[in-house]
Amino acid sequence: MTPFLQLTGIAAPLPMSNVNTDMIIPVSFCNVLDKASCGVGLFRNLAHLADGTPNSDFVLNRPSYREASILIGGENFGCGSSREHAPWALAARGIRCVIASGFADIFSNNSFNNGILLIRLPAAVVETLMHDVANDAPNRLVVDLQAQTITRANGATICFDIDATRRHDLLHGLDDIDKTIASEQEIDQFEVAYAPTCAGLASLCGAAPCLDRGDA
């Protein structure tokens, strides 16, 4: 996973509450396992009209926001089903940071595990940022994870809080698999130490003893 240190990018406003995962990527685009292929489905039903043509009014279709890497949303962003394709689609489109006043828990976990920084701020602060980048205004923000700050176009800074473990993992580009691999030695030591207990329990209940990795 690519480490997240500092991001300078265009911010696009999406002033909607309860943006659910089906809005982020409809289920019809979730039949792929290739993360990079999910970008075509991002906000498909918002970004396209009923006849399939692009919706020129949708924010990410507007010239000023097509290269956006930061999205500013409303309350309860990412609610709905637990599909991991939602953060896949955002990342495939180049969105590496979402700022909102609230996030759904499962979407939050999936996003952090895919290298997307979610920043929760008070609704009034989100509204200020939304105003900064609305109407094709100068819309470049600097998000510094190390300093935990957002620098607005006018130079003013906003501080944000983030769980220390999430921050560490993003700064070092670690997902759950990376952390498991990094602990492989400790896992092996535990298995060796636990093997006699496992064998003893198996004999009491008449079950076969646990297999170690070499027997699997």
DSSP bridge partners of 141? 9
Count, in order, helices (H) and strands (E) of the chain: 8, 7
What does the alpha-carbon distance between residue 118 and residue 52 come to, in Å, rounded to a whole number?
31
Residue 44 binned pLDDT confidence (cut-offs 50, 70, 90): very high
Beta-sheet strand order (sheet of 117-120): 117-120, 97-100, 70-72, 6-13, 140-144, 149-151, 157-159
- For residue 92, give the nearest of 43, 53, 49 by alpha carbon: 43
Average model confidence (pLDDT) across the chain: 89
- Number of Cβ within 10 Å of residue 33's Cβ equals 9
Q: Which residue matches tokens 């637990």?
A: 82
What does the alpha-carbon distance between residue 91 and residue 38 come to, in Å, rounded to a whole number?
9
Decide if pLDDT at 38 tops 80.
Answer: yes
Q: Which residues of 71-88 are buried (b: 16+ CB within 10 A; e: fewer)?
A: bbbbebbbbbeebbbbbb
Residue ranges of the chain assigned to CATH 3.20.19.10: 6-174
- For residue 73, give the nearest of 7, 135, 119, 6 by alpha carbon: 119
What pLDDT sits at residue 135?
A: 85
> Per-residue pLDDT averaged across 30-46, rounded?
92
What pLDDT sits at residue 216?
A: 45
The residue count of the chain comes to: 216
Q: What is the pLDDT of residues 148-204, one digit of tens each?
A: 999 999 999 999 999 999 999 999 999 777 667 766 777 667 777 776 766 666 666
CATH topology of domain 6-174: Aconitase; domain 4 (3.20.19)
pTM (2 d.p.): 0.84
What does the alpha-carbon distance between residue 141 and residue 122 come to, in Å, rounded to a whole number?
18
